[in-house]
Amino acid sequence: MHARFETPLATLEPGLWAALAPILAEPSFNGMLSARQVMALMKAGGLDEDGLCLALLPLAAACALAPVSHFNVGAIARGIGGNLYFGANMEFPGVPLSQTVHAEQSAINHAWLRGEQRLRGITVNYTPCGHCRQFMNELNSGVDIMIHLPGRAPATLAHYLPDAFGPRDLSIQSLLMDRVNHGYSLAKELLSPDTTPLRGGLSVETAQGGTSEVSCVTAAHSSTPEASCVTAAKTAPPMNGLSADDPLLQQALQAANQSHAPYSRAHSGVALQLADGRIFAGRYAENAAFNPSLPPLQSALILLNITGGDCRDIRRAVLVERDAVALSQWDATCATLRALGCGEIHRRTLEG
**104 an active-site residue?**
yes
Residue type at position 219: A
Residue 110 CA, distance from chain mean position: 7
Distance CA(159)–CA(161), nearest Å, equals 6
| Residue from 86, 30, 36 nearest 61 by CA | 86
* Residue 292, SS3 per DSSP: coil
Distance CA(253)–CA(318), nearest Å, equals 10
- Percentages helix, strand, coil for the chain (3-state, rounded to 5) are 35, 25, 45
| Residue from 110, 106, 96 nearest 128 by CA | 106
Residue 76's alpha-carbon distances to 19, 85, 262, 277, in angstroms, are 19, 5, 26, 28
197-228: b (≥16 Cβ within 10 Å) or e: eeeeeebbbbbbeeeebbbbebeeebbeeebe
Distance CA(139)–CA(166), nearest Å, equals 10
Candidate list 104, 189, 213, 321, residue with the active-site label: 104
Residues ≥6 apart with Cβ < 8 Å to 152: none
Distance CA(333)–CA(264), nearest Å, equals 18
Catalytic residues: 104
